[in-house]
Amino acid sequence: MNWNKEGDENTALDRVFRAYRDACPDPEASANFMPELWRRIEERQRSVFFLGRWARAFVTAAAVLSMAMAAYLYIPHSRTSVFSMESYVEALAAGHAQDAQDLIEPAMDEL
């Protein structure tokens, strides 16, 4: 086929597209089309169902864990806890009680 001799390329291109349309008629579906489609639908439904269940389980576990963490942080703990409810200055003063006394109390002059 010598396209250059066909004249206007655009017209020739349109003709080729038309010929292509005629060369490719709508095909008939095979007998297996619908059963295979429903098999794929059911397969997808199943995977969506399992994914949904897994997501729900994950959300529930996350919620339970969050609540447990919140409870742990908000319930007052005993003094033996490694965490102190005192401020930094209070803790420092308590740790050096003896030193503080020396500084605050007036010196005793030995007579």
Check: CB of residue 12 under 8 Å from CB of residue 6.
yes
Give the binding-site size for another protein (rule: CB under 8 A): 31
Alpha-carbon Rg of the chain, whole angstroms?
42
- Residues constituting the chain: 111
Q: Is 9 in the site for another protein (CB under 8 A)?
A: yes
Q: Is 11 in the site for another protein (CB under 8 A)?
A: no
Nearest to 94 by CA among 73, 85, 78: 85
Q: Which is nearer to another protein, 13 or 64 (CB)?
A: 13
Which residues form the interface with another protein (CB under 8 A)?
Answer: 1-4, 6, 9-10, 12-14, 16-17, 19-21, 23-30, 33-34, 36-38, 40-41, 44
